[in-house]
Chain A
């Protein structure tokens, strides 16, 4: 029972058997539906599932997740365990690490695949890194094959092309035969595609580069025969094709039928799991192949890049072979950008079943791609340009939006597939296309941040919130051009979410202090009467302009503007409501729930958020989009039967649409209606002819600077430890002070990384498709704790750093988060957000690990603090009420170390840290009234904080409260946020 990591520990107070029972019942339900689905023809399964799972979205997602693995799993466990282990022993005996093969010293295995292992090695003569691909022994032993292979490798080595991985050498050492290749850093196109659709710019760049590489090889008489996304690396210098020169080898492996594979025991344990998804019909039929087989594979690859799903797909390998031999891929969905959809005829010609019907000459095909690329490269975006090492969503925003200015974006709304999970194919249905984006142009470009656009009812003005990290204002700008006019304010800082009154004369906006109505073109501002002392997060006009809904916490107060009784609606959740929109038929108010972006915090927060709909007549809130992605900016259609919203569900902010039935439930599916838009918030004009949207780019990288002996100094001595398109939120030192652990969105969603505290390569420690945050390493250096959204809410997880099963520590529907190890390396402190009778309550708990995988029941710690850090004596330093306290983890003593004097210049502490092993000095982080961060030191023996560092540089704010200290240095995230507002012509049917 100790290994049930999937089920986690029981909820507080729950009966363990009861939890187990409910899991059993759930599984029974899942297995019955899956088996019933598998008995049906593939094309009927979707409908069957929709019916069988009814309203149970998690059930359907779980079943789809399993069904999607069904065909891949066919080759899994094909050999019995004893032979798997025997094969591993064989692999060991072949282990080359530490050996020298010719002039190459083998350093590490960097990959293993069906075609043999790949090692990183050092060329000891030239002192450069290389990659060695070791040939499977039984193939190396075949004299005829070996000769052919060497001949072919020589031919490949003679070709130099910027987009082909360089083959340096073919070597032999004893019985070991190997290829020496350029050592590349980056990720494969397969990995990239699994994260979500490519932008049109990327599609054209990759397609052009791959096509050029194919031209070079084909003109030298070399055929690849195994072109697939896994053989294309995306590197800082563009795409690189791998594995040219393995054609003979590949052929030998693939033409080996199952019986003869079994005769080669090392392979028997490696059933042919390689992909046949990109193989040409003639290749599958074991006929002679030539360069046109690569053209077919290229077509399949290009189809996938453009359409966001595989050209051929099936439940089993047999069905897949049949599909490649007999069927044509479905039309590319109309939701795909027109620019890339223009590639469809070219792709279809690549995918002709008969090689004679395909492109005969690779250069002709490459030229055609160049032509189509130049058609969209008015911005120059499609010309091959050096790419960052990892193509990242946030950078893509800028490029995509630049491209959007010239490309015609077709948007479609369909009633077919439901909201897809990350990496799944995008919606396909081409039937209805009620929303179409036309010309797009930039409205604002001057400031750092412009968000929350709202178009005036007459369509002539856009109101938005703009400024920088420290000060925001509401601006009104004519659509026709001309300067932005700041709205008369007097309402305090950080106003957001402007909303035009239906008559176009007033603008409603909110600050944390309240909801305000201002005259749109000069005049008075008044605060609406809403509960005081409660932060306001959002507000919306009623359709007739007579009432305003004001969001505070998880509730809405409906305030009639001309007096009258107020009403209250509750979302029954502690997650704050914001960015609300009242449906035209007055029945609903849709809001974002969770991840509110203020008041001091910058935008571009990574945490997910849900879309909920509250009935204005009262009643429970209805969740429209769950909180597993960032779902933002809900906007109703004029008939109130459709809700648009923005979601980064597939990596990049796109507009989705969902039909809402009369009773407020989702009818049908949420469908993505844009591709790669990169939007954050959206607004329509009253006549629905225009769409305004914010394109947002957010980065936060890890910086470090020496702790000054006295201050305050500015951050001019700070240096960046990481760079790139990522958002780093939380960081913590490893107990030995050697590493900084942090969360980063480098790979599309937040994962845990670590980097040597003195700089060096970062290393990724988690790779789950859901977000992970807040790493903490146990003092013994063995266990990593973090919180993750993989269960739908925040839960605490632990995994051994040495590898091993991931343990789910908490599993309640509330938000267990920010785990931190205590000095015994067995207990964790974590926080939970639970609602008490008087609003939000945030408590900390301690939970203990009895044995690997078995955790005790969490107990309340009750210190009511935040930002804990463990001192060498086992005591805890933490923030409470803006000051610092020291306490014990067992309900023992506590003492106040520092408390700010009200209305003084004393810092209000937000977080506290100590250098590992140092029990004398605490370091504090605060933000002043203008949002500037500072670091302070505070002796544990008592005293007043000494001001060490102040973030004076407006362009380099550090807006979050997390930081780390170690080795005499501060480590912190520096924010780089930019956004602009775009206007698009739109047609809505």
Chain B
């Protein structure tokens, strides 16, 4: 019961912040960051104690629950749900990548070195941050030549939206989302594979 209350309180706070952020309150972004961090840590903790995956906390949970909460409270400033989801995805991406970069530079300071032995390592948790940062760079490059496919990746990968939700945000068909996702994923995978496999400090 206490867990449920804490969750509700957290979501309400996030909601306020997102609304503020959309309205141009730059401080709101700074305040939102710790909340995403907390969500991240909760997921990591759960992973460590091998909790079963909780369907109420699937990837989209954070943004979707925030949205539902907004609707319920009738304090929606958003023109529509799609607008909100697109914004949330952009925000999630920015926060997660900043975080990955910060953690990486911290690790480098400590003299840690990551070397990939084979392509399986592209999927390995040990290289997760390097891959995220490289992916973000590649996604910028993709956006320059193909904004829509890059947004599909942002919505699906960074915000965790499913195919239907992504289609709704982009106002395209499900099939288009699936095709875009496949091609963008292939392109990004290839770009990442091309980037140097040895990232090493002095």
Contact = CB atoms under 8 A, between A and B. Distances in A.
Interface of A: 1-7, 20, 23-24, 26-28, 31, 34-35, 38, 65-66, 69-70, 72-73, 75-77, 79-93, 95, 97, 108-114, 117-118, 137-138, 141, 188, 190-191, 230, 262-266, 268-271, 273-275, 763-768, 781, 799, 801-806
Contact of B125 (A26, A38, A82, A87): A87
Contact of A274 (B47, B96, B112, B120): B120
Given A66-B186, A84-B132, A91-B128, A802 B201 contact: yes
Contacts of A92: 107
Interface in B165-202: 179, 182-183, 185-191, 193-202
B47 A266 contact: yes
A246 to B, nearest CB: 14
Given A3-B137, A269-B128, A27 B145 contact: yes
5 contacts: A24-B145, A83-B59, A85-B129, A768-B196, A806-B196
B8 interface: no
**Residue among A4, A81, A763 having the largest count of chain B Cβ atoms under 10 Å:** A81
Nearest to B108: A802
Given A82-B92, A273-B120, 4 more contacts: A23-B145, A76-B189, A271-B123, A803-B196
Given A82-B160, A85-B99, A803 B118 contact: no
Interface of B: 36, 39-41, 43-44, 46-48, 50-53, 59, 62, 92-93, 96, 99-100, 103, 107-108, 112-135, 137, 140-141, 144-146, 149, 153, 156-160, 179, 182-183, 185-191, 193-202
A66 B141 contact: no
Contacts of B50: 137-138, 141, 263-265
A111 B47 contact: no
Main secondary structure, interface of A, reads mixed
Contacts of A27: 145-146
Contact of A23 (B96, B144, B153): B144
Contacts, number: 235
A460 to B, nearest CB: 52
A84 B128 contact: yes
A805 B160 contact: no
A84 B97 CA distance: 11
B115 A85 contact: no
A801 B199 CA distance: 8
A82 B197 CA distance: 23
B140 A4 contact: yes
B113 to A, nearest CB: 6
Contacts of A805: 134, 137, 195
A902 B53 CA distance: 82
A463 to B, nearest CB: 45
A34 B36 CA distance: 37
B117 to A, nearest CB: 3
A4 B198 contact: no
Given A3-B137, A4-B141, A20-B144, A270 B199 contact: no
Top 6 A-B pairs, shortest CB-CB distance: A803-B199, A111-B117, A88-B128, A265-B47, A73-B189, A80-B160
A772 to B, nearest CB: 10
Contacts of A190: 118
**Residue among B40, B62, B92, B159 having the largest count of chain A Cβ atoms under 10 Å:** B40
Contact of B131 (A26, A84, A95, A268): A84
B47 A31 contact: no
Contacts of B51: 265
A89 B44 contact: yes
B154 to A, nearest CB: 10
A97 B112 contact: yes
Contacts of A767: 196-198
